Chain A
Amino acid sequence: MRFDALRENLLKDGVAPRHVRRYLAELSEHLDDLTAQQCEAGYDEEDAAIRARARLGDDSELAAAMLEQPGMRSWPARLPWLVFVALPPAATLLLGTLLYAAVYFIGNEAAKINAVVPVPQNLLIGFSVMAMTAISVLAVPVAATLLALLADRQRLKPLWPLLGIALLLLATPMFSSRFGHHAYLGVHYGLVIATKWSVVVRFWPLMLSHALALPPAAWLIRRRSAA
C-alpha cells in the first residue's frame, strides 16, 4: 500500500492518527495528479510513477515537514502518563458509578412498586441486577481494552499502557447495593488478594474482571513486540 513506511514513521513519532490519515490521503491524491501530469507529458506509466513520486518528496522530507508543525502530536504521545495512568482509573470510576447508579435506580424504583404495572416488576429488578453485575465485571476489562487499542493505534511502546492497566487492576471500583427499605448504593476501592476459595466466591465479579483485563495487556505486548 502507498506510504506504508511514512505512516508507520509518523505514528511512531507521535503524530495523531487523524492527522496522519488526512496527510496520506492528500498525498495520495496529489500523487495521482502528478502521475497523470507526467503521463500527459509523454512518459510511460512506470516512468511517470517514478517521476511523480520523486516530485512529491521522499519519505524523510515528507515526515520532517509534518513533524516540524506544532500541534500535530497526539495526547497519548505528548502526555502518556496522563492518558494511560492518571485518567483511566478516574474515568472508570466516574463512568462506572454513573452507569451503575442509573441501572440501580431502575431496580430500586421497581422494588418500591406495589401496584400492577405494564412491565413486570421482577423483570425490571432482574434487568437491573444483571446490568449492575455486568458493569462491575466489565468496567475494567473495557478500560484495559481501550488503553491497549489506543496505544497500538499510536504505535507506542507498551510501558505506559501496561502501567495504566496495572493501576486499574489495583484500583478496580467495587460496587455494592441493595434495593428496598434499607436501600444503599456504595463504591469501594481496594486490593483483594484471594487467599481462600471463599474470598474468590465472595468477590467473583472482581476476580472475573481482573482475569478479563489481562488478555488486552497480553495482546498489546504481542503486537508491539512483533512490530
Chain B
Amino acid sequence: MANDVSGFTAGIPELMILRLLKDQEMYGYEIVQAIAARTLRMVTPGEGVVYPVLHALEKEGALKSRRKTVNGRSRVYYSLTPRGAKKLAALAGHWTSVNNAVQAVLHAV
C-alpha cells in the first residue's frame, strides 16, 4: 500500500464515476449531480473537473462515449466497458481495504 497520504484518496473520483456508470450511461452534468446527491454534497469540487477524469478513463478504455440528442440537446454520454468493469472491481477492492484499515484504527481500544 502506498505510504503517502495521497495514496489513500487516489482514485476516488474514478471509483465514483465508474460505479455510477455501471448502472446506466450518463452525461457529465448528470454524473456530477448524482455524485453530489449520493454523497449528500460532501464531495463538491468544481463541477467541470469531472471531464478530464472522464476523458482519461475513456482514453485508457474504461469508458466509451457517444454523442446523443435528447429533448433537442446534444450531449456526450459515457458508459462502462468490460475493461472499466474490471477497473471498478479493482478500485472498489482497494478502497474497501483502505476503509477497513482506517476503521480498525478508529475503533482500536
- Chain A interface residues (CB < 8 Å from chain B): 19, 22-23, 26-27, 29-30, 33-34, 55-58, 61-62, 65-66, 68-72
Q: How many A-B residue pairs have CB under 8 A?
A: 63
Q: How many residues of B contact A (CB 8 A)?
A: 19
- Chain B interface residues (CB < 8 Å from chain A): 27-29, 32, 45-49, 51-53, 55-56, 59, 73-76
Alpha-carbon gap, A26 to B76, bound state (A): 8
Please determine whether B51 and A68 come into contact, CB atoms closer than 8 angstroms: no
Please determine whether A57 and B52 come into contact, CB atoms closer than 8 angstroms: no
Can you list 16 A-B contacts with CB-CB less than 8 angstroms, sorted by A residue number? A23-B55, A26-B51, A27-B48, A29-B27, A29-B73, A29-B74, A29-B76, A30-B28, A30-B51, A34-B29, A57-B47, A57-B49, A65-B53, A66-B51, A69-B55, A72-B55
Find chain B residues with CB under 8 A from A27 CB: 48, 51
7 closest residue pairs by CB, A with B? A57-B46, A65-B49, A69-B56, A33-B29, A66-B52, A57-B48, A61-B46
Please determine whether B56 and A58 come into contact, CB atoms closer than 8 angstroms: no
Instruction: From B45, B48, B75, B76, name the one whose CB has the most chain A CB atoms within 10 angstroms.
Output: B48
Look across to chain B and name the residue whose beta carbon is closest to the beta carbon of A60. B46
Look across to chain A and name the residue whose beta carbon is closest to the beta carbon of B54. A26
Known pairs A30-B29, A30-B48, A69-B53 / 17 extra A-B pairs, C-beta < 8 Å: A22-B55, A29-B29, A29-B73, A30-B51, A34-B47, A56-B47, A56-B48, A57-B45, A57-B46, A61-B49, A65-B49, A65-B51, A65-B53, A66-B51, A68-B52, A69-B56, A72-B52
Find chain A residues with CB under 8 A from B76 CB: 26, 29
Look across to chain B and name the residue whose beta carbon is closest to the beta carbon of A56. B48
